[in-house]
Structure 1
Amino acid sequence: MMSSSPNPAKKPKLEIITTNPNWLELPKDLTSNILKRLGAVEILTNARNVCPYWWNICKDPFMWREIQMGTFHLYFQYANADAPDLDYLVKLCQYAVDLSSGHLEKIDIYRFGSDHLLQYIADRASNLRHIQLASCMRVSDEGWCEAAKKFPLLEEIDISHGFQTKISLEVIGQNCPLLKSLVYNGMSYGGRSKCDEAFIIAKTMPGLRHLDIHKNPLTDDGLLAILDGCPLLESLNIAGCYNLDFDGSLWERLHNHIKDLHLREYYPGPYYHSFEPVCVYADSSGISYYEIVEKFVDPEFKDEDSDA
């Protein structure tokens, strides 16, 4: 008679926990970090209304050291043809500035900026370090002449695709001595002398590290002035500056002085337009001389003889 083997030990059943996490138990710093990623409009219109705990976090001035309202999608969400409501964006921006209680350091605005809003920010954000007013057609030279005096700590300015002129540049340079980064491009060419803006930058902004003036009408003289007047410059975008000839030693100076140099202009479609440096010859001292060659390049094309 065969003895039966002992029953194997029964394995304990695993208990599956299906309860949802309690977001209210997260540390305040972590919750604040998560909410900041939503952007100013989403916080003010939705997130802060979820519960009293989030409402109190969203009232903390340090939540508003950065105000992000500089996206294309946000603007067209409120500026559609059926019900344009840019005033609502302006009011939300003003409310966010008020919540910062003077702690605002960075603000990005796309299209809905105006002289009135710029002055509102200037009166309440003397600690501002970074401002972007991209495509803000309602911001004028007069607006900057009033506001720049109240931004002594500004380090980064983006006023691309607006109607500001050399007047704004000069008042910014005179009143913002800590300026390290300037984006000033896409402006109307009407009434612009070729190098006026370049000479102002060279004269009033010696601390610049980054400069984007693509599509500016400056010539070699203006670019040389910038290189002389801004010795700390590391990044330079001069794509689409078609008056540049790069004569003499200019290309050599750019090559030796600028770590991040943008010369190429991109266009939609299968081709892009570019200016590329091509070595012409090297003299007895070993210094190479370059020409800037204009090309149309098909990015889909691959040279069969190339290693790439």
Structure 2
Amino acid sequence: MANCSIPAKEAECESTTKPNWLELPTDITTNILQRLGTTEVVTNACHVCPLWWNICKDPLMWHTIRIPFLMHTPYSCDDLEKICRFAVKRSCGRLEDIDIEYFATDDLLECIADNANIRCLRLAKCLNISSKVFCEAVGKLPRLEELDISYSGRLTYSLDVIGRSCPLLKSFKFARYGFNSHSSNEDGFMIAETMPGNEVYNDGLLAILDACPLLESLNLLGCFNLDFTESLQQRCVEQIKSVQWPRRNPPFENFLMIVYTSLS
């Protein structure tokens, strides 16, 4: 009998120490739910119980949306787009930070751009967005402070529009696959008139350095088309706080990514 009572007591003790999630204060439950990914909240958490559903109806729950495209995700691109639309709609205009990968489309971006309070927008590897729609969307986001369109190749010719439309922009990331000698300097001068950018030759890099006095971080990895003279190296070191110099990488890493950070 003694042997049988020990497991029973342990089970009773274990059951009394497990937290009752429904008895947690609402603010703590909200904090926990906000730590989940957007996909998990939309597809699972908000359906757990009426309390969690009501918490998830609060627009403040959706001021940040992050939906990465995972290799083994059970959701298709169409599914992820629907999840994103649901989250954007729930934000009721309170959306400030959105980070999505791969599955974005013109229609989805138009939906996102209706939220003028967005401060941070990341569209990585989103190859199905046209420059036309992107330019229209950026024009609706005057409060944008951080923008990342890395590897979204069709947005190349939107760089000048970004500069004109986003006066508050502090951070800009633009990296591309591959190497295109025709566009290298063209991108450089276009960006130099507005903000930092991508692949350049020496003249393009100098134009960026001249036009961007607040530039703090310069990533030159894979930019083998640059000829670093002693004067150019000195200019970079004196003007930029953090410089990553070119090193031999595979061809697809031939890009220059510059982060423009305001000193204020």
* TM-score, length-scaled by structure 2: 0.83
Displacement, 1:242?
1.3
Quick one: structure 1 residues 67 and 165, their matched pair in 2 at CA, closer, same or farther if it must change by over 3 Å?
closer
Partner of 1:257: 239
Pairing 1:292-307 to 2, within 5 Å after superposition:
none
Aligned sequence identity (%) = 49
C-alpha separation in 1, matches of 2:133 and 2:38: 24
Q: Which has the larger radius of gyration?
A: 1
C-alpha separation in 2, matches of 1:248 and 1:196: 24
2:167 aligned to which of 177, 180, 185: 177
Matched, 1:26 2:24: yes
Partner of 1:102: 93
- Aligned alpha-carbon RMSD (Å): 2.3
Matched, 1:92 2:88: no
Matched, 1:229 2:211: yes
User: Is the Cα–Cα contact under 8 Å of residues 67 and 108 in structure 1 kept in the other structure?
Assistant: yes
User: Is the Cα–Cα contact under 8 Å of residues 164 and 187 in structure 1 kept in the other structure?
Assistant: no
Partner of 1:7: none
Partner of 1:111: 102
2:223 aligned to which of 236, 241, 249: 241
User: Is the Cα–Cα contact under 8 Å of residues 212 and 237 in structure 1 kept in the other structure?
Assistant: no
Quick one: structure 1 residues 203 and 96, their matched pair in 2 at CA, closer, same or farther if it must change by over 3 Å?
same
Quick one: which amino acid aligns to residue 96 of structure 2? E
Structure 2 portions without partners, runs of 5+: 1-11, 251-264
User: Is the Cα–Cα contact under 8 Å of residues 114 and 136 in structure 1 kept in the other structure?
Assistant: yes
Matched, 1:157 2:153: no
C-alpha separation in 1, matches of 2:107 and 2:92: 19
C-alpha separation in 1, matches of 2:238 and 2:105: 40
Partner of 2:60: 62
Residue-by-residue CA offset, 1:263-294 (whole Å, 9 max, x unaligned): 255759xxxxxxxxxxxxxxxxxxxxxxxxxx
SS at match of 2:73: helix
Q: Matched residue pairs, number? A: 239
Partner of 1:277: none
User: Is the Cα–Cα contact under 8 Å of residues 140 and 163 in structure 1 kept in the other structure?
Assistant: no
Structure with greater proportional helix content? 2
Quick one: which amino acid aligns to residue 105 of structure 1? E
Partner of 1:40: 38
Displacement, 1:155?
1.0
4+ residue segments displaced more than 6 Å: none
Quick one: structure 1 residues 173 and 212, their matched pair in 2 at CA, closer, same or farther if it must change by over 3 Å?
closer
User: Is the Cα–Cα contact under 8 Å of residues 220 and 247 in structure 1 kept in the other structure?
Assistant: no
Structure with greater proportional strand content? 1
C-alpha separation in 2, matches of 1:256 and 1:133: 32
Quick one: which amino acid aligns to residue 158 of structure 2? S
Which gives a bigger RCO, structure 1 or 2 (Cα 8 Å, sep 6+)?
Answer: 2
SS at match of 1:117: helix
C-alpha separation in 2, matches of 1:204 and 1:17: 62
